[in-house]
Amino acid sequence: MKKIVSSLLLASSFLLANGEYVTYNVDGKDYQGYYSSPSKDAPLVFMIHDWDGIDKYEIKRTEMLNQMGYAVFAADMFGKGVVADTIEKRKALTGALYKDREKMRTLIQGGFEEAKKLGANTNNAVGLGYCFGGTVILEMARSGAELKKFVPFHGGLTTPEGQDYSKVKGEIVVFHGTADKAVSMDDFADIAKRMEAQKVTHEMLTYSGAPHAFTKFGSDRYHERADKASWKRFSEILDETLKN
């Protein structure tokens, strides 16, 4: 019996090490995140997907981070079985959360609690978000979550009415494309001014010629130079933050 249990545990550990979808419940609804860890107690990158939902892009980034020694939990913001396969669906799903920031925060917290239940090292963690996920990561920062850094890549930078950065406990690093037509350089400057006014430690990086979603390899918006440069700096930030 002990051998059977031991084999099951080893099999479970193998699955987690190579990534698996994880179903969890938030306010009576099922969600499906993705978790992968290269080793026990590996530093954690808490990831929020873009408006497509968790797909091969987030899984590829997870694999890249695993190879660098980091665990990743990608939280689901839409719901198990929800497929954001059209522009209309994506606008509806993200728009509903933009309008309901309390629900957004509840889903963030639900995902983070699930990562903790899985044994992820949530005490040594950085938040990462792409596009819509970048907006969510900034919401997480403003909520007062205790991550060491919050990192939006080409995310929405507008601060919701009635919110500010007074509760932020970690540093914020913003990666942005200067040629982004969805999120303007005025938005980029505004968030910098707001964070400076409230003494939030931050780093702001922008890349010439890079459009919105410039890291999305395989898409017509992919900007190789900006993607590689931003990933290099992000890698340095992770090492500085989680391995020291």
Cβ atoms of residues 154 and 175 within 8 Å? yes
CATH code assigned to 20-242? 3.40.50.1820
CA distance 213 to 155: 8
Question: Chunked in runs of 10, what are the mean pLDDT values of the chain (244 residues)?
Answer: 34 54 98 96 97 96 97 98 97 98 98 97 98 98 98 98 97 98 97 98 98 96 98 98 88
Q: Taking the domains of the chain in order of start, what are their residue ranges?
A: 20-242
Retrieve residue 200's tokens: 């939030």
Q: In 3-state terms, what secondary structure has residue 213?
A: coil
Q: What is the pLDDT of residue 4?
A: 34
The CA-atom distances, in angstroms, between 63 and each of 23, 71, 157, 198, 218 are 20, 9, 27, 36, 17
141 beta partners:
none
Q: What is the pLDDT of residue 149?
A: 98
Question: ∠ CA 213-115-10 to the nearest 5 degrees?
Answer: 115
CA distance 93 to 240: 35
Edge-first strand order for the sheet with 202-207 is: 20-26, 29-36, 71-75, 43-48, 121-130, 149-153, 171-177, 202-207
